[in-house]
Amino acid sequence: MNRAVLEIDSRVGNVSLARVAAATFIAPLDPDVTELSDMKTAVSEAVTNAIIHGYGGIEGNTVRMTLTLDGRLLTVEVTDNGIGITDIACAREPLFTTLPELERSGLGFTVMESFMDTVDVISTPKVGTTVTMTKEIKIIEAADGHESLRDSSLA
């Protein structure tokens, strides 16, 4: 098992750092381009939600991302100590947003659920939120039964 923890300031510009860190973390598993893109998009949504919704876009707070690899199972945990979510079921509904004035699409959780195998949300109002996502990184075998080489240069 391998584990890494990244703590970043709650700046929208740091979303790309979280994406690259997650991509680099799974690079040894040689994910295909689709797996890599899906995981990076889900990480972007989770970290952006923490910054925009958890902290109201206010810089100077911390978003913590914990990455774990257990064999080929990736677990990404994104935690904030922000305002929390009062109704998780409602927040997970497509097109629901608490910030329509910022032209938020309300698809964050829907995107995460589309691109990851599982998405769990634990939140306490006035305490914070943790989003835990998992994705199994597949092994692709060539026609001859051997593992194929894939291009992981898009990390």
Which residues partner with 124 through β-bridges?
Answer: 128
Neighbouring residues of 106: CB distance < 8 A, sequence distance ≥ 6: 93, 94, 95, 96, 97
Which residues partner with 148 through β-bridges?
Answer: none
Residues in the chain: 155
Name the residues annotated as catalytic.
45, 49, 104
Which residues partner with 8 through β-bridges?
Answer: 63
Distances (CA, A) of 139 to 15, 68, 96: 28, 18, 36
